[in-house]
Chain A
Amino acid sequence: MADIAFNMLMARIVNQIQDELNEIPNYVEGNKALGVDVPPIVWVDDAAIPITATSPASFAPLMKQALQVVHHIFTRHGMTINFEKGKTEGIMMFRGPGANLCRLQHFDKQQHPCLVVGTPTHILTLRLSATYKHLGVHQGMNADISLEIDVKIATAKLAFEEIKKAVLLNRAIAVPGRVQLYGSLILSRILYGCANWADVSTADLQKIETMMVKHYRRIYDDGFWHANCSTDCDFLHQHQLQPFRLLWARHRLVYLQHLARHGHDFHIHMLLMEKRMAA
């Protein structure tokens, strides 16, 4: 019951945030220039508010205005935003003419970069971060997926090491069973959120493939430590293991249907816009 109440309250707050943001001229101009209105994205208490400005120079003032709005609405509902590290942070992604200068102004400092905003009741300090994690997915300031992949690989490796003795390298369990467990316990960590990856570098893809093959080889006990060692390609074919590229395609295609069924118009609109710009 409490969860339902909280969600209802959050829905109301988000709507109010959206309404008040729409009254900021710079915010509206940014959305207009972008060609699409992107609303705040919320999952229970995890919220992300995308803001777009028309130029890098007008970006920081707009963020401060938005922060004031958000703080005001939350205060009005009896809540205080937690500005601690890892709780509420801002990611600034500068693009276009003047972007370098803005980056220097904001990030070339001795202390941690932050935005300070004065309100009638509080002085708010919003930490600016290079990366953030929203719903378990890491995003970087440079919109590069490498960080996310590195984190996923590290998580998978850690999970493998944790359960290898008890499960994955336990010879009391048949190999097909262990492979199945590997898929559900380890691969799922890699594949979580992979459906919306784009522009992955070949090196990153190779890193994932290498890690998977290495793990599979340990499970099958078929590797360089045996005299008749096969190549990775032969190994995957011999045991009929799906390469990561195929798993990735499968997840992406399934996600495509999710998008078609449940995706918002702005989401599809942005994807089409991205495609047009790339073309």
Chain B
Amino acid sequence: MDMISTSICCSWRKGWLHEVREDLTWLQTVEALPFELPQDDNGWMQMFSSLADCSTWKRTVKRACAKHLMQERIAWEVQHYHDAIYRELCEAGIDIVDLQASTAITAERFRCRECPKEFDTAQKLALHAFRLHGHISTERFMIQSTVCAGCLKDFHTTWRVQQHLRYRPNGCWDRLDGARPPAVPEVIQMPDHLKHIKRLPAIRRHYGPIRPTSVQRRRIDLRRRISELQQAGANDYVWWHPSSEPALVARVYNELETRLREWCLNEDASDADFQNLMFGGLFAFDEPDMKMARVFIQWIESRFHDCWPESLDPDRRIQLEAAYMDMLVDLPTWTMREEMKKLTQLWCHLPNDEPEFEKPRLPTTSRPYDRSHKIPSSFGIMQVKETERLQWRFLSRAPKKPIGQDAPYYVVHLYSGRRREGDFHSWMSTLLQQRPDLPVRVLSIDTAIHSSMNIHSTKLWTFLMEIAKAGRLVALLLGPPCETWSAARFETLIDQALGDRARRAPRPLRMADAPWCIQGLSLRELLQLSVGNALLLRGLWLGLVVALNSGAVVLEHPAMPHEPCKPSIWRTALVLLLVRRPNAVFYLKSIQQWRFGSPGVKPTTFLCANLTLDESLAQFALGDVQKPSAPLIGLSSTGVFRTSAAKEYPSALNRALANAMFQRMCRHPGLNGPVRAHDDSFGQELAAMSACLDGGDILPDFQPECANLA
């Protein structure tokens, strides 16, 4: 039994309901709430009564968690693939600039200078810079032992010396920075006799002179310069004072005043005339030149301005000001005295020997800490990230790498669908028979051919990236699934089986301004989007690597819809970056597939690199076909989507694409030359699997069982 007792007090805490409200706010973004978000006590009481009667609450919460997890996965995947593609571009030697970042760097985000990552705090950025880019702190280069070179104290480990140097108010960094050149940093582990002890021995200072502080170094330097200046001017009467010889000074003054009056009376006299007159007067005396120069300076400083005639013209006054200054500047005595004045000023205004450090700034947040913990979500800022990516620009053209030297080479048709007569694979194989000397294998990769041909399989993906990076993937054709991008999702679905009545249709999953995902989707739709995004971005990643390694790439996707609100891969920041001139890696080519025998009009755009399609497309377009009038929207009388008829490329289009790639291979000198044999059993295995024509049905674009993690 417990006796809990309390005396009444005011609490600074926000309270449990405050945190519940945060959770409800989050829940509202994922699922519809069966009540209004409570604002006041009445609202809470109403919420409690509604919630007590809600039989689906537990399921709603569970579903919301699952949806949140899936949304976050989509956001992470999109970011992950964009980062990978960005790294690929950087590694290829392309300079990318972020226009937005270069103009406005927000204070809250810390961006890495070497990659597109950004962080909340400087510490996270530093950790990232160390782990990924190998950056280490500037203090490390000043540490070559366990003894601080600033104060000669032994800290037993280099790590503790580093911590010591980072604490600026102790003055050690001030003693070292700029005083000695950075050297190779040393890492000294704890000596054996100090290992496994909880408390290290006391810090001991070594005997020896302590290095001067930065102010002391400046003082020493000034003292040296003043001393040198004094020695340099001692023999030239620089520090001699004319008051020691008044008779000579009076005579010189009279002479100079006479000559000044003479110059003032002559209205045509120039600056040079002033100098000639003055130097003439000075050198008329039988005294050392430097001594007379010193007297002249004294005269300028004490009498010169009093000797000016009252009636002197203002313009002549300005001329006189310039003339005497020009003369003074030519005198080494004057220059040295000015230098001495400057050094004396510096000496007089030197701060204390021990530098003063600013007090640490007060924290921006004040106690008590706000202990609210919002559920972190990167899904909410996907749109912002995409807008930021729209500002990316290439500053330089991608340097082309030569094609690989190791055989065999590969032509890959990614997301090919089932094998059939007249597909790309068969046309390419036929063409390759004309050139048996070309060591090229054709691969069609799709789960419709074999379940192991899943692009998410680590083995397959590693193989494709390896041959692409080695320059052995000489041609790549890919058509990522377009079902989640389809403009037909915006149309009313007409079902012929129901007598051309409208029925519930798949809804849009993307918008032009949110191309990777929109809010309010079901769990299945989110999974569908995740798969769609991953397949497209993986395809683009592989295509980019192939293009950068001199391989031919053709990526097929439906053409951009006319309505600006509808999503399209051609409107995504990444594709826009890749095709933006003048440093574009890819170019776009649009066709209509009905010209090649497709049952629908099917406007299509190709993202191409390192080959020209025009000739081949013109050559193999069918001449005797009529443009279909009915759009492929809705369900047919058999209950299947009409678009499914146009899912596979028509044979003529396959032939045109195969021919374009084949022609390029024939022209490429690297492929015709001698090559080294290369053992790759997995490539052989894939080639054998994809050569088999007997199997496979048309599978749906979205296959949840094949969805895997990036």
Contact = CB atoms under 8 A, between A and B. Distances in A.
Interface in A61-99: 62-63, 66-67, 70, 81, 87-96, 99
Interface in A209-240: 233-234, 237-240
Interface in B634-688: none
Given A238-B709, A246-B68, A95 B17 contact: no
B376 A245 contact: yes
Interface in B47-74: 47-49, 51-52, 54, 57-58, 61-62, 65, 68-69, 72-73
A60 B11 CA distance: 21
B604 to A, nearest CB: 34
A274 interface: yes
A184 interface: no
A253 B12 contact: no
A237 B73 contact: yes
A59 interface: yes
Interface stretch (B86-94, B152-160, B256-264, B367-375): B367-375
Nearest to B70: A240
B5 A277 contact: no
Given A55-B7, A256-B51, A48 B2 contact: yes
Given A199-B371, A257-B58, A95 B1 contact: no
Contact of A46 (B1, B5, B73): B1
Contact of A132 (B2, B51, B375): B2
B interface bracket (residues with beta carbon within 8 Å of A): 35 or more
Contacts of B620: none
Nearest to A251: B61
A278 interface: yes
B373 A252 contact: no
Interface residues of A, number: 73
A176 to B, nearest CB: 13
A259 B3 contact: no
Nearest to B76: A237
Contacts of A275: 15, 17-18, 44
A24 to B, nearest CB: 13
B9 interface: yes
Contacts of B125: none
Given A198-B13, A261-B52, A274-B16, A47 B2 contact: yes
A53 interface: yes
Contacts, number: 184
Contact of B709 (A46, A51, A239): A239
B6 A260 contact: no
Interface in B1-53: 1-20, 23-24, 26-27, 41, 44-45, 47-49, 51-52
A233 B128 CA distance: 13
A249 B375 contact: yes
Contacts of A252: 19-20, 23
B3 A126 contact: yes
Given A240-B709, A249-B23, A94 B15 contact: no
A195 to B, nearest CB: 9
A278 B61 contact: no
Contacts of B73: 237, 240
Contacts of A95: 6-9
Interface in B231-286: none
B80 interface: yes
Interface stretch (A1-9, A154-162, A165-173, A200-208): A200-208
A87 B62 CA distance: 39
B41 A276 contact: yes
Secondary structure of the B side of the interface?
A: helix
B23 A93 contact: no
A4 to B, nearest CB: 21
Interface string A39-64: 00000001111111111100100110
Contacts of B320: none
B98 to A, nearest CB: 22
A174 interface: no
A49 B4 contact: yes
A96 B11 contact: no
Given A254-B58, A254-B61, A260-B52, A240 B69 contact: yes
A237 B530 CA distance: 12
Contact of A202 (B8, B19, B23, B373): B373
B615 to A, nearest CB: 45
A268 interface: yes
A33 interface: yes
Contacts of B1: 46-49, 70, 81, 87-88
Nearest to B62: A250
B706 interface: no
B470 interface: no
Contacts of B9: 95-96, 99
A234 B14 CA distance: 32
Contacts of B523: none
B260 to A, nearest CB: 80
B418 to A, nearest CB: 30
Given A132-B2, A274-B17, A52 B371 contact: no
Contacts of B5: 50-53, 59, 62-63, 90-93
B710 interface: yes
Contact of A33 (B4, B8, B11, B80): B8
Contacts of B19: 198-199, 252
Contacts of A239: 709
B591 to A, nearest CB: 38
A101 to B, nearest CB: 12
Contacts of B24: 253
A253 B61 contact: yes
A12 interface: no
Nearest to B49: A260
- The 5 lowest CB-CB distance pairs between A and B, nearest first, are A95-B9, A90-B3, A274-B15, A237-B76, A260-B51
Given A91-B4, A237-B72, A249-B26, 10 more contacts: A30-B8, A48-B4, A59-B7, A67-B3, A95-B9, A196-B16, A201-B369, A249-B375, A257-B57, A261-B51
10 contacts: A30-B8, A46-B1, A49-B4, A62-B5, A99-B7, A99-B9, A198-B15, A245-B375, A249-B65, A250-B61
Interface of A: 30, 33-34, 46-56, 59, 62-63, 66-67, 70, 81, 87-96, 99, 126, 132, 134, 139, 196, 198-202, 205, 233-234, 237-240, 242-243, 245-247, 249-250, 252-254, 256-257, 259-261, 263, 268, 271-272, 274-278
